[in-house]
């Protein structure tokens, strides 16, 4: 028999390729197990859905493998199909599918349980040359698991005109994600809205809350935002919500000698390609591999170790030189806000918002003490929320989770409690008498 006659028919090659594809899916199903997962991807995701995700993925791969086996046997038995299967063009397409498409499909399915992002990227932020990032006016999207809406002025909450509303008081809130309301689904649950509602009920007049909170902002951004936009609203009073990571988080930015552009831009879709890659398990796996190469197997712990400073560093080592240097930078930024408010005769209050773990350890308040000293040196009204929150926690026998959704963002119950604590401080300013003061807008 000649060599030509020894070659298998082309239809048999097609069947063999189907069997090879079935084997690829079957092997992936076998490898999709706890033992293999632990060996390849340790530490495994600690989400409650992971076991179910792993089982569902394994079942899907097994079902696809079985269907391909059935298709291979059907192709082998249905002889009338063999002339069509033997066509060169059909085999060429099959080769591309088996060696080009199938590996990608298998990887996309098999990697799904391991690299599900903790939360998807968003479109509510956009790059800004002066501020680093800001809200995209009119954006509606999901951020940290909650649907949020940004009004046409780039702020969260009801859109408020620059012009004063006759008979209404107005408070302008500066801050970061705590002010913005990360993890809160409704605008009415955010801290500015809660405070405005509580104050309105007490004074018997409308109180407008202008929420200038932007996730990730610290005082250098707040000062610029206040000067460029905030004063246009002619508020009766300005409230800065100071969070402990305002001192540390900014140091990761290139502006302060770091290497990043901000967590917010990192989780913002930069392009349609970026949006597509965010849905690809292979792309997510590559990102996870790069992160593990950079930070070690425990990416979260490694990333924290790579930070220049952390909130716990501020608490545990308040006298350390780099801590004091970070505070000095922060105080210079706060000075700009103080000066701008004094130029326009605007009362300024500071709310010191704690981290959740401090409620169980209220004596660990070194950062709060730093800010209290600053406020007293500058004659500012302030409220250290650590004290009333920890007292309320103890008296009501609650856990920090009642007030905080995570390390530092309030729950809806948390913002309600904070609003009650803030109300006496606001009333003591005398800025909310019977008739709201008329303020002229001055150009920056």
CATH assignment of the domain containing 182: 3.40.50.1110
Q: What is the pLDDT of residue 60?
A: 94
From the list 368, 360, 347, the residue with the least C-alpha distance to 427 is: 347
pLDDT for residue 408 is more than 50: yes
Assigned token pair, 435: 């008739």
Q: What is the pLDDT of residue 439?
A: 54
User: Does residue 98 belong to any structural domain of this protein?
Assistant: yes
User: Does residue 293 belong to any structural domain of this protein?
Assistant: no
Answer yes or no: do 163 and 106 share one domain.
Answer: no
Degrees (nearest 5) of the Cα angle 415, 418, 421?
155
How does pLDDT run across 264-309, given as a tens digit for each residue? 998 898 766 766 677 777 777 776 666 566 555 444 444 444 445 8
Average pLDDT, the chain: 88
User: Does residue 444 belong to any structural domain of this protein?
Assistant: no
Rounded Cα distance, 198 and 85, in Å:
75
Answer yes or no: do 189 and 106 share one domain.
Answer: no
pLDDT for residue 327 is more than 60: yes
Give, for 382, the enclosing helix (H) or strand (E): strand 381-384
Query: Which of 77, 110, 143 marks a domain boundary?
Result: 110
CA dihedral angle for residue 178, residue 408, residue 317, residue 249, rounded to 10 degrees:
-50
User: Does residue 116 belong to any structural domain of this protein?
Assistant: no
Instruction: Give percent of the chain with pLDDT exceeding 90.
Output: 67
Residue 327 · residue 354 · CB < 8 Å: no
pLDDT for residue 3 is more than 70: no
How does pLDDT run across 70-109, given as a tens digit for each residue? 999 998 898 888 888 888 888 899 999 999 999 999 988 8
From the list 189, 230, 238, 205, the residue with the least C-alpha distance to 351 is: 238
Q: What is the pLDDT of residue 443?
A: 40
Q: What residue numbers bound the domain in which 53 lies?
A: 8-110
Q: What is the pLDDT of residue 248?
A: 95
Rounded Cα distance, 382 and 395, in Å:
23
Assigned token pair, 117: 């992002």
In this prediction, residue 444 has a pLDDT band, given cuts at 50, 70 and 90, of: very low
Answer yes or no: do 231 and 344 share one domain.
Answer: yes
User: Does residue 253 belong to any structural domain of this protein?
Assistant: yes
Beta strand 381-384 with 348-353 is parallel
Q: What is the pLDDT of residue 291?
A: 58
User: Does residue 141 belong to any structural domain of this protein?
Assistant: no
pLDDT for residue 2 is more than 60: no
Rounded Cα distance, 384 and 243, in Å:
11
In this prediction, residue 8 has a pLDDT band, given cuts at 50, 70 and 90, of: low
Give the mean pLDDT of 26-50.
73
Number of domains, the chain: 2
Q: What is the pLDDT of residue 167?
A: 93
Give the mean pLDDT of 210-223.
98
How does pLDDT run across 189-208, given as a tens digit for each residue? 999 999 999 999 999 999 99
Answer yes or no: do 214 and 359 share one domain.
Answer: yes
Answer yes or no: do 93 and 202 share one domain.
Answer: no
How does pLDDT run across 111-133, given as a tens digit for each residue? 888 766 666 789 999 999 999 99
């Amino acid at each position: 028999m000649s060599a030509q006659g020894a070659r298998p028919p082309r239809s048999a090659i097609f069947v063999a390729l189907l069997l090879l594809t079935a084997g690829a899916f079957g092997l992936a199903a076998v490898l999709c197990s706890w033992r293999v997962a632990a060996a390849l991807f340790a530490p495994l995701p600690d989400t409650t859905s992971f076991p179910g995700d792993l089982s569902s993925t394994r079942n899907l791969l097994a079902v696809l493998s079985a269907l391909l086996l059935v298709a291979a046997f059907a192709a082998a038995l249905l002889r009338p199909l063999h002339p069509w299967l033997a066509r060169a063009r059909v085999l060429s397409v099959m080769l591309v599918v088996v060696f080009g498409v199938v590996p990608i499909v298998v990887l996309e399915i098999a990697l799904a349980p391991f690299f599900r992002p903790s939360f998807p990227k968003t479109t509510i932020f956009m790059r800004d040359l002066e501020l680093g990032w800001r809200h995209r006016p009119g954006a509606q999207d999901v951020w940290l698991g909650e649907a949020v809406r940004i009004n046409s002025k780039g702020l969260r909450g009801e859109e408020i005109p620059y012009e004063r509303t006759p008979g209404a008081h107005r408070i302008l809130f500066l801050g970061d994600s705590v002010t913005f309301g990360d993890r809160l689904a409704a605008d009415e649950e955010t801290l500015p809205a809660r405070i405005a509602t509580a104050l309105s009920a007490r004074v018997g007049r409308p109180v407008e809350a202008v929420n200038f909170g932007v996730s990730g902002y610290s005082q250098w951004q707040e000062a610029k935002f206040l000067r460029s936009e905030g004063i246009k609203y002619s508020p009766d009073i300005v409230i800065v919500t100071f969070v402990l990571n305002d001192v540390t988080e900014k140091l990761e930015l290139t502006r302060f000698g770091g290497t990043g552009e901000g967590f917010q831009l990192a989780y913002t879709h930069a392009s349609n390609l970026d949006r597509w890659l965010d849905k690809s398990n292979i792309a997510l796996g590559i990102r996870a591999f790069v992160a593990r190469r950079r930070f070690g197997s425990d990416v979260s712990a490694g990333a924290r170790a790579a930070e220049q400073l952390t909130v716990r560093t501020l608490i545990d080592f308040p006298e350390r030189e780099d801590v004091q240097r970070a505070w000095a930078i922060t105080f210079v930024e706060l000075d700009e806000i103080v000066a701008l408010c004094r130029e326009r005769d605007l009362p300024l209050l500071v709310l010191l918002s704690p981290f959740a773990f401090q409620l169980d350890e209220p004596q660990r308040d070194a950062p709060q003490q730093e800010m209290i000293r600053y406020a007293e040196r500058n004659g500012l009204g302030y409220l250290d929320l650590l004290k009333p929150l920890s007292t309320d926690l103890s008296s009501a026998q609650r856990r920090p989770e009642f007030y905080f959704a995570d390390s530092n963002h309030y729950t809806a119950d948390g913002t309600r409690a904070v609003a009650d604590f803030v109300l006496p401080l606001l009333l003591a300013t005398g800025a909310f008498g019977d008739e709201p003061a008329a303020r002229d807008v001055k150009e920056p």
